[in-house]
Amino acid sequence: MITIDALTKTYGGFTAVDDVTFTAEAGRVTGFLGPNGAGKSTTMRIMVGLTPASSGSATILGRHFAELPNPGREVGVLLDASAQHAGRTGREILTIAQRTMGLPRGAVAETLSRVSLTDEEADRRVRNYSLGMRQRLGIATALIGDPEVLILDEPANGLDPAGIRWMRDLLRDFADQGGTVLLSSHLLHEIEVIADDLVVIGNGRIVAQGSKQELLAAAGTLARAEQPGALHRALADKGITASTSADGAVRTEADPAVVGQVALAAGIALTELRPADGAGLEEMFLELTAASQREGNTEGAAA
């Protein structure tokens, strides 16, 4: 389990992480989502002792990272797959990890096989690796100690579709065997497929958290009309709060039946009307983090 309690990090007058509290439970995959600059990476760096907190605490298995007697045996970490010694081979990097953790020598070969790196690839220098191969090596370094917890920042970056499917199955299996997975990714579809729980952060603060089913079910109603502005005004005239996205979708917490009745009374033809949970994670994410989006539109906002 990972426990984050009232975590705050300030840099001068700037607050990067602001009173963040959440847990990542054993046996579950927790998706950690937010726009660029939202505070995800800072929070994860604090978890693994790379950045000191200004206040609050982050514990893994009930201890701060620095208090873990052999951290790699208890928590596997991948924050930046590019931060590997380019002059070493993949096998050398894993061998260093194996010796540092006091693992059997066979752990290197077993882990290389687990992440589908061949002997030829393992003996190649990292400078000659593709981004996808570096991701596999980073995941291998996180897994080699057979930890109880995984903390992964953008682990699918650079993987092809087959690699993404492989990673998804690996993490699902890890959680199903009782492990804790905290996963940050800009690939919202992959988070939607694999995550059990979601934590959404914007401007350094948690804007939503809970099970995936709870959050998507609470997303309200999505409607589309040839004149979305007219639908928005008709809802507002009835005291119903709504928002209109850049693509013309009107979202509201009112029931679909109520939205349909308002549209009918106003003579507005709807082209789409459904519970917003069917809209998926992307639309929920964009709505929750609208105030903290770096871009003026919704494109690329999930990075």
Residues listed for the chain: 303
User: What is residue 130's DSSP assignment?
Assistant: -
For residues 138-147, b (16+ Cβ closer than 10 Å) or e, as one string? bbbbbbbbeb
pLDDT at 111: 97
pLDDT of 297 strictly over 50 = no
Per-residue model confidence as pLDDT tens digits over 206-261: 988 988 877 776 667 889 998 899 999 999 999 998 888 777 888 887 888 999 99
Which helix (H) or strand (E) segment holds residue 224: the answer is: strand 221-225
Write out the residue limits of the CATH 3.30.70 domain(s) in the chain: 220-279
Q: How far is CA 55 from the centre of its chain?
A: 23
pLDDT > 90? residue 277: no
- Assigned CATH for 2-210: 3.40.50.300
**Structural tokens at position 303:** 């990075």
Q: Is the pLDDT of residue 160 over 80?
A: yes
Pseudo-torsion of CA 104, 109, 114, 116, nearest 10°?
Answer: 160
User: Of 52-66, 91-105, 264-278, which gets the smallest average pLDDT?
Assistant: 264-278
Is domain 220-279 in CATH 1.20.1070, yes or no?
Answer: no
What percentage of the chain reaches a pLDDT higher than 90? Answer: 66
Q: What percent of the chain is predicted at pLDDT more than 70? A: 92
Least confident of 81-90, 160-169, 239-248: 239-248
Stretch (H or E) spanning 258: helix 256-265
Say whether pLDDT at 185 is over 90.
no
CB 103 within 8 A of CB 144: yes
Of residues 157 and 153, the one with the higher pLDDT is: 153
Q: Are 85 and 124 in contact (CB under 8 A)?
A: no
Q: What is the mean pLDDT of residues 8-20?
A: 95
Cα(91)–Cα(161) distance, integer angstroms: 25
Q: For position 188, what pLDDT does the model report? A: 82
**The two structure tokens encoding residue 140:** 């291998």
**Helix crossing, 131-143 with 106-114: angle to 10°?**
130
| pLDDT tens column, 17-76 | 999 999 999 999 999 998 888 899 999 999 999 999 999 999 999 999 999 999 999 999
**Whole-number pLDDT of residue 303:** 38
